[in-house]
Structure 1
Protein backbone atom coordinates (compact mmCIF):
# COMPACT_ATOMS: atom_id res chain seq x y z
CA UNK A 1 0.00 0.00 0.00
CA UNK A 2 1.49 3.35 -1.01
CA UNK A 3 -0.29 5.71 1.40
CA UNK A 4 0.75 6.24 5.02
CA UNK A 5 -1.15 4.26 7.62
CA UNK A 6 -3.73 6.13 9.64
CA UNK A 7 -3.79 5.53 13.37
CA UNK A 8 -7.26 5.32 14.91
CA UNK A 9 -8.54 8.81 15.71
CA UNK A 10 -10.52 9.42 18.91
CA UNK A 11 -12.33 12.76 19.06
CA UNK A 12 -14.76 14.19 21.56
CA UNK A 13 -16.94 17.23 21.97
CA UNK A 14 -18.00 18.34 25.42
CA UNK A 15 -20.23 21.34 26.06
CA UNK A 16 -21.56 21.31 29.63
CA UNK A 17 -23.88 24.26 29.00
CA UNK A 18 -25.75 22.20 26.37
CA UNK A 19 -25.40 18.86 28.23
CA UNK A 20 -23.38 17.58 25.26
CA UNK A 21 -20.80 14.82 25.71
CA UNK A 22 -20.11 13.13 22.37
CA UNK A 23 -17.36 10.98 20.91
CA UNK A 24 -16.36 10.17 17.35
CA UNK A 25 -13.83 7.50 16.37
CA UNK A 26 -12.35 6.83 12.91
CA UNK A 27 -10.15 3.90 11.90
CA UNK A 28 -9.03 2.23 8.68
CA UNK A 29 -8.92 -1.57 8.57
CA UNK A 30 -8.15 -4.06 5.80
CA UNK A 31 -10.94 -6.19 4.36
CA UNK A 32 -10.67 -9.89 3.56
CA UNK A 33 -10.72 -9.16 -0.17
CA UNK A 34 -7.82 -6.70 -0.46
CA UNK A 35 -9.78 -3.50 0.03
CA UNK A 36 -9.88 -1.12 2.96
CA UNK A 37 -12.73 -0.20 5.30
CA UNK A 38 -13.29 3.10 7.06
CA UNK A 39 -14.93 2.33 10.40
CA UNK A 40 -16.83 5.18 12.07
CA UNK A 41 -18.16 4.95 15.62
CA UNK A 42 -20.03 7.82 17.29
CA UNK A 43 -22.43 8.61 20.09
CA UNK A 44 -22.75 9.92 23.63
CA UNK A 45 -19.73 9.34 25.88
CA UNK A 46 -20.47 6.34 28.11
CA UNK A 47 -22.48 4.46 25.47
CA UNK A 48 -21.45 2.08 22.69
CA UNK A 49 -22.84 4.49 20.11
CA UNK A 50 -23.45 3.65 16.47
CA UNK A 51 -21.10 2.10 13.91
CA UNK A 52 -20.87 2.62 10.16
CA UNK A 53 -18.44 0.81 7.86
CA UNK A 54 -17.60 2.10 4.38
CA UNK A 55 -15.57 -0.14 2.07
CA UNK A 56 -13.12 1.19 -0.51
CA UNK A 57 -11.12 -0.48 -3.28
CA UNK A 58 -7.80 0.84 -1.99
CA UNK A 59 -6.18 2.55 0.97
CA UNK A 60 -5.81 5.87 -0.83
CA UNK A 61 -9.56 6.35 -1.16
CA UNK A 62 -10.09 5.29 2.46
CA UNK A 63 -7.38 7.73 3.61
CA UNK A 64 -8.98 10.60 1.69
CA UNK A 65 -12.38 9.88 3.26
CA UNK A 66 -10.70 9.67 6.69
CA UNK A 67 -9.12 13.10 6.17
CA UNK A 68 -12.38 14.69 4.99
CA UNK A 69 -14.34 13.37 7.97
CA UNK A 70 -11.62 14.47 10.40
CA UNK A 71 -11.74 18.03 9.00
CA UNK A 72 -15.54 18.18 9.23
CA UNK A 73 -15.59 16.96 12.83
CA UNK A 74 -12.83 19.34 13.93
CA UNK A 75 -14.70 22.27 12.32
CA UNK A 76 -17.74 21.27 14.39
CA UNK A 77 -15.76 21.50 17.62
CA UNK A 78 -14.48 17.97 18.17
CA UNK A 79 -10.96 17.71 19.65
CA UNK A 80 -8.57 14.83 20.23
CA UNK A 81 -8.18 13.24 23.63
CA UNK A 82 -4.71 14.79 23.98
CA UNK A 83 -6.03 18.29 23.27
CA UNK A 84 -7.51 20.37 26.07
CA UNK A 85 -11.16 21.45 25.87
CA UNK A 86 -11.79 24.96 27.14
Structure 2
Protein backbone atom coordinates (compact mmCIF):
# COMPACT_ATOMS: atom_id res chain seq x y z
CA UNK A 1 0.00 0.00 0.00
CA UNK A 2 1.30 3.44 -0.94
CA UNK A 3 1.46 6.30 1.51
CA UNK A 4 -0.62 9.29 0.57
CA UNK A 5 0.62 12.82 1.18
CA UNK A 6 -2.19 15.40 0.94
CA UNK A 7 -1.38 18.40 -1.17
CA UNK A 8 -3.32 21.66 -0.99
CA UNK A 9 -3.14 24.98 -2.83
CA UNK A 10 -5.16 28.07 -1.85
CA UNK A 11 -5.06 30.98 -4.31
CA UNK A 12 -6.73 34.40 -4.48
CA UNK A 13 -7.14 37.02 -7.16
CA UNK A 14 -8.11 40.47 -5.94
CA UNK A 15 -8.39 43.44 -8.30
CA UNK A 16 -10.36 46.39 -6.86
CA UNK A 17 -10.37 48.20 -10.23
CA UNK A 18 -12.43 45.34 -11.72
CA UNK A 19 -14.38 44.59 -8.52
CA UNK A 20 -12.80 41.13 -8.58
CA UNK A 21 -12.34 39.07 -5.39
CA UNK A 22 -11.99 35.39 -6.30
CA UNK A 23 -10.60 32.30 -4.64
CA UNK A 24 -9.45 28.99 -6.09
CA UNK A 25 -8.56 25.98 -3.95
CA UNK A 26 -7.06 22.64 -5.06
CA UNK A 27 -6.58 19.59 -2.84
CA UNK A 28 -5.78 15.91 -3.24
CA UNK A 29 -7.58 13.23 -1.28
CA UNK A 30 -7.29 9.43 -1.40
CA UNK A 31 -10.20 7.36 -2.73
CA UNK A 32 -11.47 4.13 -1.19
CA UNK A 33 -10.14 2.12 -4.13
CA UNK A 34 -6.48 3.17 -4.02
CA UNK A 35 -6.67 6.10 -6.41
CA UNK A 36 -6.78 9.82 -5.77
CA UNK A 37 -9.29 12.62 -6.16
CA UNK A 38 -8.57 16.21 -7.12
CA UNK A 39 -11.03 18.53 -5.36
CA UNK A 40 -11.42 22.01 -6.90
CA UNK A 41 -13.29 24.83 -5.12
CA UNK A 42 -13.71 28.27 -6.67
CA UNK A 43 -15.84 31.37 -6.50
CA UNK A 44 -16.12 34.88 -5.12
CA UNK A 45 -14.51 35.48 -1.73
CA UNK A 46 -17.22 35.56 0.93
CA UNK A 47 -19.59 33.34 -1.06
CA UNK A 48 -20.05 29.58 -1.11
CA UNK A 49 -18.63 28.99 -4.59
CA UNK A 50 -18.61 25.78 -6.58
CA UNK A 51 -16.91 22.41 -6.16
CA UNK A 52 -15.75 19.81 -8.67
CA UNK A 53 -14.15 16.43 -8.00
CA UNK A 54 -12.07 14.48 -10.53
CA UNK A 55 -10.87 10.96 -9.78
CA UNK A 56 -7.60 9.44 -11.02
CA UNK A 57 -6.20 5.92 -10.94
CA UNK A 58 -2.87 6.97 -9.41
CA UNK A 59 -1.62 9.66 -7.05
CA UNK A 60 0.91 10.74 -9.66
CA UNK A 61 -1.81 11.47 -12.23
CA UNK A 62 -3.79 13.50 -9.71
CA UNK A 63 -0.66 15.38 -8.62
CA UNK A 64 0.27 16.31 -12.17
CA UNK A 65 -3.29 17.55 -12.81
CA UNK A 66 -3.10 19.66 -9.63
CA UNK A 67 0.21 21.24 -10.69
CA UNK A 68 -1.09 21.87 -14.22
CA UNK A 69 -4.16 23.69 -12.88
CA UNK A 70 -2.06 25.62 -10.36
CA UNK A 71 0.27 26.88 -13.11
CA UNK A 72 -2.72 27.87 -15.24
CA UNK A 73 -4.32 29.89 -12.43
CA UNK A 74 -1.03 31.59 -11.53
CA UNK A 75 -0.64 32.69 -15.17
CA UNK A 76 -4.10 34.28 -14.91
CA UNK A 77 -3.07 36.37 -11.91
CA UNK A 78 -3.97 34.21 -8.91
CA UNK A 79 -1.53 34.41 -5.98
CA UNK A 80 -1.11 32.52 -2.69
CA UNK A 81 -3.74 33.36 -0.11
CA UNK A 82 -1.82 35.39 2.49
CA UNK A 83 -2.78 36.04 6.08
CA UNK A 84 -4.89 39.20 6.33
CA UNK A 85 -3.21 42.08 8.14
CA UNK A 86 -5.21 44.41 10.34
Q: Is the 8 A contact 2:27 2:38 kept in 1?
A: yes
CA displacement, residues 12-43 of structure 1 (integer Å, 9 cap, x when unaligned): 00000000000000000001111100000000
The unaligned stretches of length 5 or more in structure 2 are: none
User: Partner of 1:9 in structure 2?
Assistant: 9
1:72 counterpart SS class: helix
Matched, 1:54 2:49: no
* Structure 1 vs Structure 2 CA RMSD: 1.7
The unaligned stretches of length 5 or more in structure 1 are: none
Structure 1 segments (4+ residues) deviating >6 Å? none
Q: Is the 8 A contact 1:6 1:63 kept in 2?
A: no
What is the TM-score normalised by the length of structure 2? 0.88
* In structure 2, distance between residues paired with 1:47 and 1:8: 20
